[in-house]
Amino acid sequence: MDKPIAKSNNRVRELRLTYHLTQSELAEKTNLSYSSIVSYENGLRDPNARAMAALEKFFGVTGEYLLGLTDTNVSKARFFPEANKKSPLLEKYERLDQHGKELIAMILDKELERCTLNQLEDKFVEFPNEIYLKFSDQAGCAGNGIYLGPESFTEYPVVGNELTRRAAFAVPVAGDSMEPKFHNGDIVLVNFEPVESGDIALITMDGYGYIKKIGDQELLPLNPKYDPIPMDESVRVNGKIIGVFDPSWYI
């Protein structure tokens, strides 16, 4: 009596040909013997559990499909044979001995380190125009005067531009007597350039600090709601106001 033909024979052969493989190549890729592949395709026997698992994984199909029990529930790998194919590089790697694999791992580690350092360097932002500017911890009054204690400054890195490089230090503004030019909360830049009548300066008088326009024996506000302040013998010019510090210049 003839041996009945196994149901899997046509499916194994069909899938192998879809992948453009010889029987020997399929045996090598699935770690099955050549004689086993021939037996499956000739209907001499069905794959055992280990062979079924190997064929299912390689072809990307269900066991039911492989045995011819159904025509459905087939993985996309059947229609896109490249889906389960290993890359040529991976295949070459798998053929290396232990020494070769360790050498590749060492090279990969070194290259990963190099690429990581390059990425960090790309992200590092240099500030070639960075300078340090002193900021007063006390405000200059754009009002009726603020009592000044001992001088205290804190240095911060800022963008070096025409104004910040000219400045000796920066002072916050308190009050609105110098509006609309300077507003409460502004930070003004001060340097030690000569001050003339009509300039706006940082001034101390009788222990009080002012930001005012220099007039004829008077400290002049820009805001008309304030009155001029007469100068006395204690007046001292601490520097010329040259502009307003832009907060975006902080680094």
Residue by residue, DSSP assigns the chain as -PPPPPTTHHHHHHHHHHTT--HHHHHHHHT--HHHHHHHHTTS----HHHHHHHHHHHT--HHHHTTS-S-S--GGGT-GGGGPPPHHHHHHHTS-HHHHHHHHHHHHHHHHHHHHHHHHHHPPP-TTEEEEEEESSPEESSS-EE--S--EEEEEEE--HHHHH-SEEEEEESSTTTTTS-TT-EEEEE-S---TT-EEEEEETTEEEEEEE-SSEEEPSSTTS--EE--TT-EEEEEEEEE--GGGB-
Q: In a 10 Å sphere around its CB, with 0-12 CB exposed, 13-18 middle and 19+ buried, how is residue 162 labelled?
A: exposed
Q: For position 140, what pLDDT does the model report?
A: 64
Mean pLDDT, the chain, as a whole number?
80
Query: Are 94 and 135 members of one domain?
Result: no
Would residue 178 count as lying in a domain? yes
Query: Are 112 and 135 members of one domain?
Result: no
Query: Are 15 and 67 members of one domain?
Result: yes
Percentage of residues in the chain having pLDDT higher than 90:
27
Q: For position 123, what pLDDT does the model report?
A: 54
Query: Are 200 and 150 members of one domain?
Result: yes
Q: For position 101, what pLDDT does the model report?
A: 80
- Tell me the per-residue pLDDT of 22-63, one tens digit each, with 9 for 90 and over: 998 999 999 999 888 888 888 777 888 888 888 888 888 888
User: What CATH number is associated with residue 30?
Assistant: 1.10.260.40
Q: Which residues pair with 219 in a beta bridge?
A: 214, 229
Residue with tokens 């506000």: 221
What span, in angstroms and rounded, lies between the C-alpha atoms of 169 and 147?
19
Last residue of a domain, one of 124, 142, 177: 124
Would residue 55 count as lying in a domain? yes
Query: Are 200 and 112 members of one domain?
Result: no
Would residue 4 count as lying in a domain? no
What span, in angstroms and rounded, lies between the C-alpha atoms of 191 and 199?
12
Asked if the model's pLDDT at residue 68 lies above 70, the reply is yes
Last residue of a domain, one of 29, 54, 85: 85
Query: Are 29 and 43 members of one domain?
Result: yes
Would residue 147 count as lying in a domain? yes
Q: For position 121, what pLDDT does the model report?
A: 58
What span, in angstroms and rounded, lies between the C-alpha atoms of 61 and 47?
14
Amino acid in position 106: M
Please state the domain count of the chain: 3
Would residue 74 count as lying in a domain? yes
Query: Are 45 and 69 members of one domain?
Result: yes
Q: For position 74, what pLDDT does the model report?
A: 52
Query: Are 212 and 149 members of one domain?
Result: yes
Last residue of a domain, one of 75, 108, 124: 124
- Tell me the whole-structure pTM to 2 decimals: 0.47
Query: Are 78 and 93 members of one domain?
Result: no
Determine if the peptide bond prior to 180 is cis (ω within 30°). yes
Query: Are 142 and 101 members of one domain?
Result: no
| Confidence band, pLDDT 50/70/90 cuts, at residue 85 | low
| Confidence band, pLDDT 50/70/90 cuts, at residue 2 | very low
What span, in angstroms and rounded, lies between the C-alpha atoms of 183 and 164?
19
Query: Are 22 and 61 members of one domain?
Result: yes
Q: For position 169, what pLDDT does the model report?
A: 92
Q: Which residues pair with 172 in a beta bridge?
A: 187
- Tell me the per-residue pLDDT of 88-144, one tens digit each, with 9 for 90 and over: 777 787 788 888 787 888 888 788 778 777 665 555 455 568 899 999 877 765 555
Asked if the model's pLDDT at residue 199 lies above 90, the reply is yes
* Residue 25 CB partners (closer than 8 Å, separation 6+): none
- Tell me the per-residue pLDDT of 143-152, one tens digit each, with 9 for 90 and over: 554 444 456 7
Q: For position 8, what pLDDT does the model report?
A: 52
Asked if the model's pLDDT at residue 159 lies above 80, the reply is yes
Would residue 54 count as lying in a domain? yes
What span, in angstroms and rounded, lies between the C-alpha atoms of 17 and 23?
9
Query: Are 57 and 22 members of one domain?
Result: yes
Asked if the model's pLDDT at residue 65 lies above 70, the reply is yes
Would residue 152 count as lying in a domain? yes
Would residue 186 count as lying in a domain? yes
Segments forming the whole domain that contains residue 98: 86-124
